[in-house]
Amino acid sequence: MTSVVSRRDFLKASAVLGGGFALEFSFPVLSRAVSGGPSTEVNAWIVIHPDDRVVIRIARSEMGQGTFTALAQLVAEELDCDWARVSAEYASPNENFRRNHVWGAMSTGGSRGVRTSQDYVRKAGASAREMLVTAAAEQWRVPAATCTVERGVITHHPSGRKLRYGQVAAAAAKLTPPKDVTLRDPKDWKIAGKPLHRLDIPDKVRGKPVFGVDVSLPGMLHASIAQCPVFGGKLASVDSRAAEQMRGVKKIVREESFVAVVADSWWRANEALKALVVQWDAGAYAHADNASVTAMLREGLDAKNLPQARKIGDTAAALQGAVKVVEVEYHSPYINHATLEPQTCTAWLKPEGFLDVWTSTQDGEASMIAASAASGLPLEKVEVHKMMLGGGFGRRGGPQDFVTQAVLIARAMPGVPVKLMWSRTEDMQHGFYRPASIVRMKAGLDEQGRPVALHSTVACPSILKVLRPQALPKDGVDPTAVRSLYDMPYTIPHQQVDYAMRNGHVPVGFWRAPGQQNAFYRECFIDELAAMAGQDPVAYRLAMLKAGDKNRLVLEAVTRAAGWGTPLPSGRYRGVAVADGFDSFTATVAEVSVDEKGEPRVHRVVIAIDSGYVVNPDTCRAQAESNVIFGLGSILYQENNLKNGSIVESNFNDFRLPQMAEMPVVETLLVPTGGFWGGHGEPAILALAPAVCNAIFQATGTRIRSLPLKHHDLQRHARLGDLAGVA
Amino acid sequence: MLELLINGRVARVDVEPEMPLLWVLRDHLGLPGTKYGCGISACGACTVHLDGQAVRSCTLPVSAAQGKKITTIEGLSKNGLHPVQKAWIEHEVPQCGYCQTGMIMTTVALLEAHPHPTDAQIDEAVTNLCRCGTYARVRKAIHALAKS
């Protein structure tokens, strides 16, 4: 195979430490860096060394969700190799392009890592296993059917002869891959389905340079960036005279919508950036603020002839004929991803006309396309080196703004690698935010208080319109804007969901479980209706779920595990919610108290998830814990406000993250029923906010119809006695 | 030229005295295990030890570290086998891992001061921010270390 940018041409960078001793490290730091000696690529996914070490290539990005390990487990399960000898490395985006997408999709989001690649990665493992066995059988001149494999050792039973994978890998690679392979029944799994240690953790606890911000190359310079504070605005002028005189400063890069300083350390670049006198042309949205966003959404709510995301029965007639009609509005603010590693990308425009890019990306191929577009180089001359992500949550997939910027900066510094890293303030104020939205829900009830009709109108910016316009359906209904409403499992006979796409100028993006605010609206409103009907919220929901619906199963499982209906310590109250998404089913019970000052506290969260199959139970539990803390920040205090066209919040002092003391006890029940493959990265966030807010209603009698909770005076409503509550 | 004692060795570096220690470590001395998260001592990703005390290096001028023993994650142990690092692996603490080197440095200092910390002591000492939600496992690992 000819290679225009050899991926094995690993850069050895040595950083001299003060008194003359050196730390040496290479990129990537995973197995490629340590693999010596001749190795064999049995197929695109599997490389086997003569000493039996197996390297499994992973196409999806690792951002803490454990996909690196789970996908390796699936391959290793079918390969029948020794897990103790397995390591994983990223597949190269450039090679994926040149090898006709042999690794499939690299895009990592939507909790898709396992659920949409499990089939072909398992087949890759099974196919390689068959080739290895065939190679051994051919060497022995025996039928392959007389051989078995255990942990990478092939045995010919009649003779007792043995060969190791490392001994036959080279011969196996020359064979034609089998047309069909049989995959193992998950009930027979030995490597998949087990809580194995994650492959990426040892390097991370040792502080190895695995992240995008850790890239270090010989002669590399550093860049800090300032983008127009008003989204869509342009750079008007820059007075850089003072900055140019500052120590270590190499270049001021002026582009249409940003200015960057390149220096010999990031701190020097950033200090010089502060010394620039910059004039911006703010553009049309210089006066946009929270009120103008609300007005935009309200106009959408009242608009006529909106596209319909769901229409079952005749909702208008059913509402007219209802015994009672209840109408409510819920709303949510913009929220940033705030990955702890700020956006970053290193770009090196080489004199030979190649471009190398190192970045923390959720989509290596999207990074490659962005780098190609920004450099003007064809894709085959661009290599993206995927690094570990210091958090992703949807920020680093669709938007590749940081890659485009790094390449533009590198273009101004040809031949010199430049690492761009955003300051925290840039990161806070130039995100692709969870959309702000308002939803109006109108329910028609029968004499028993059961809903016969539900009409929801969603006013919300479209993420697809911003990031993937080609994926937006023709009717203009963005599924991420109507999630949990247009696919609601409740058997309400008349349902209508209208969608008002109102976009504004604030960029929106895929924020963990895009559209999850709708699960908050829906599950809180259902709770309101249950309370009005004087019914237990679990029973009320179960009455609207079909027999066999997996939502029923997780709801029943979680209420049992949480002790629903049993006494709680004084001052604690329960709330419940159920929601499905990303092909998994999730139900949550939260236990909450509100103290005399009105401060809410979430003590315990019990979550039941049916994802069909579970590849690494420990990682799945970790993702449930992750969804709880990620969701909790948005429930308690996170929001991004808009003033003068710009985001107000600037850092973690005004955009709080929950701390250790706020972490509730999280109990996760994995209840896989088989027959389908669901995700784990996002589902558990769906039912969290409604479960917490429904518990707050029990504690205070106050219905929470907007978040964050910091805007609600819970003290005023805190219950003195134990009023009628069903939980 | 400033002289610093880092991970048991002397390093000489020609930087401004006001440059935060974080950037001297990351960009001038090739020690990237210490992370930038906020630049205002809010998140703790930049935590290192100064004479055994956990400090946030993103707001600490390098001049203030002169004459003190600086320990970074790279110097915490040989081969990353400090008991806290081992416990982090055993309990699968990290998710993305970005905040974890700071979390580990904070924990090491906590356990030196309080070998058997209460939950309240953990809450008070480990104020590092984690966006992924590893707090429950951090606490579990600390309690396991206290027992051993």
pLDDT in tens, A174-231: 999 999 999 999 999 999 999 999 999 999 999 999 999 999 999 999 999 999 999 9
User: Do B62 and B8 lie in a common domain?
Assistant: yes
> Is residue B89 domain-shared with residue B132, that is, in the same domain?
yes
Q: How high is the pLDDT of residue A715? A: 84
* B100 and B54 Cβ atoms separated by less than 8 Å: no
pLDDT beyond 50 at A8: no
Contact A622, A641 (CB under 8 A): no
A21 has a chain B CB within 8 A of its CB: yes
Same domain, B13 and B50: yes
Query: How deeply is B131 buried, as exposed, middle or buried, from its count of CB atoms within 10 A (0-12, 13-18, 19+)?
Result: buried
Handedness of CA A331, A334, A336, A337 (dihedral sign): positive
- pLDDT score at A719: 55
| Cβ contact B96–A16 (<8 Å) | no
Last residue within a domain, chosen from B16, B48, B75: B75
- Split at pLDDT 50, 70, 90, the class of A727 is very low
B91 and B142 co-located in one domain: yes
Instruction: Give the residues across from A581 on adjacent strands.
Output: A584
CA distances from B89 to A69, A197, A557, B92, B102 (A): 14, 8, 31, 5, 15
Assembly ipTM: 0.98
pLDDT tens digits, A86-144 = 999 999 999 999 999 999 999 999 999 999 999 999 999 999 999 999 999 999 999 99
Closest-CA residue of B relative to A248 is: B15
The pLDDT of residue A16 is: 27
- Among residues A32, A35, A55, the alpha carbon closest in space to that of A45 is found at A55
Q: Do B130 and A629 touch (CB under 8 A)?
A: yes
Phi, psi of A465 (to 5 degrees): -60, -40
Judged by CB atoms closer than 8 Å, whether chains meet at B135 and A618 is answered as no
A46 forms beta bridges with A43, A56
Q: Two tokens at A257?
A: 């919508």
pLDDT tens by residue, A490-512:
999 999 999 999 999 999 999 99
Chain A residues within 8 A of B98 when measuring between CB atoms: 211, 339-341, 390-391
B-contacting residues in A 200-229 (Cβ below 8 Å) = 200-202, 204-211, 213-214, 216, 222
Q: Does position A2 have pLDDT exceeding 50, yes or no?
A: no
Sign of CA dihedral A203, A662, A339, A238: negative
For residue B43, the distance in angstroms to the closest alpha carbon of chain A comes to 7
CATH number of the domain encompassing residue B63? 3.10.20.30
Tokens of A628: 């709880």
Instruction: Answer yes or no: do B71 and B118 share one domain.
Output: no
Number of domains in chain B: 2
Q: Flag whether pLDDT at A290 surpasses 80.
A: yes
Q: Do B143 and B82 fall within a single domain?
A: yes
Residues B91 and B27 in one domain: no
The pLDDT of residue A652 is above 60: yes
Q: Indicate the residue among B41, B75, B109 that finishes a domain.
A: B75
Fold of A212-283+343-421: Aldehyde Oxidoreductase; domain 4 (3.30.365)
List chain A residues with CB under 8 Å of B12: 18-19
Structure tokens of A594?
A: 């509100």
With cut-offs at 50, 70 and 90, classify the pLDDT of residue A718.
low
What's the confidence (pLDDT) of residue A725?
Answer: 41
Chain A residues whose beta carbon lies within 8 Å of the beta carbon of residue B65: none
B68–chain A nearest CA distance, Å: 16
Question: Mutate which of B24, B60, B98, B127 to disrupt the A interface (most A C-beta within 10 Å)?
Answer: B98
- Which residues numbered 361-390 in A keep a CB inside 8 Å of some CB on B? 388-390
What CA–CA distance (Å, rounded) separates A458 from A451? 19
Residue of B nearest to A19 (CA): B11
Right CATH for A36-205 from 3.20.20.80, 3.40.50.970, 3.30.365.10, 3.40.309.10: 3.30.365.10
Q: How buried is residue A90: exposed, middle or buried, by Cβ count under 10 Å (0-12/13-18/19+)? A: buried
A77-96 pLDDT per residue, tens? 999 999 999 999 999 999 99
Backbone angles phi, psi at A94, to 5 degrees: -65, -45
CATH number of this structure's domain A291-334+433-717, picked from the four choices 3.30.56.10, 1.20.1740.10, 3.90.1260.10, 3.30.365.10: 3.30.365.10
* A 478-517: CB under 8 A from B: none
Average pLDDT, chain A: 93
Could you tell me which of A687, A457, A691 has the C-alpha nearest to residue A564? A691
Task: Work out the percent of chain A whose per-residue pLDDT is above 90.
Answer: 93
At residue A37 the predicted structure's pLDDT band, cuts being 50, 70 and 90, is low
Domain that holds residue B48: 2-75
Name chain A contacts of B33, Cβ cutoff 8 Å. 206-209
Is a pLDDT exceeding 90 seen at residue A12?
no
Size of interface A-B (CB pairs under 8 A): 204
- Quick one: DSSP state of residue A212? G
Residue A32 is predicted with a pLDDT of 39
- What's the rounded Cα separation, in Å, for the pair A223 and A419? 6
pLDDT of A24 > 50? The answer is no
Domain boundary among B75, B95, B120: B75
B56 — phi, psi (to 5°)? Answer: -95, 115
Instruction: Clarify whether residues B33 and B55 are in a common domain.
Output: yes
Residue A23 near chain B (CB below 8 Å): yes
Closest residue of chain A to B124, computed from CA coordinates: A661
**pLDDT tens-digit map of B58-69:** 999 999 999 999
Does A726 score more than 80 pLDDT? no
Task: Enumerate the residues of chain B whose CB falls inside 8 A of the CB of residue A247.
Answer: 16
Check pLDDT > 80 for residue A9. no
Domain boundaries for CATH 3.30.365.10 within chain A = 36-205, 212-283+343-421, 291-334+433-717
Assess whether pLDDT exceeds 70 at residue A11: no
SS (H, E, C) A1-18: CCCCCCCCCCEEEEEEEC
pLDDT greater than 50 at residue A14 = no
CATH number at residue B98: 1.10.150.120
Residues in chain B with pLDDT < 70? none
Same domain? B71 vs B83 = no
CA distance A646 to chain B (A): 19
Predicted confidence band of residue A34 (pLDDT cuts 50, 70, 90): very low
Structure tokens at A477: 């209904």
How do residues A617-646 score in pLDDT, each as one tens digit?
A: 999 999 999 999 999 999 999 999 999 999
Both structure tokens of A250: 């190499």
Residue A25: is its pLDDT beyond 70?
no
How close does chain A come to B100, measured CA to CA in Å? 7
Supply the pLDDT for residue A255: 98
Distance of CA A625 to the CA centre of its chain: 14
pLDDT at A327: 98
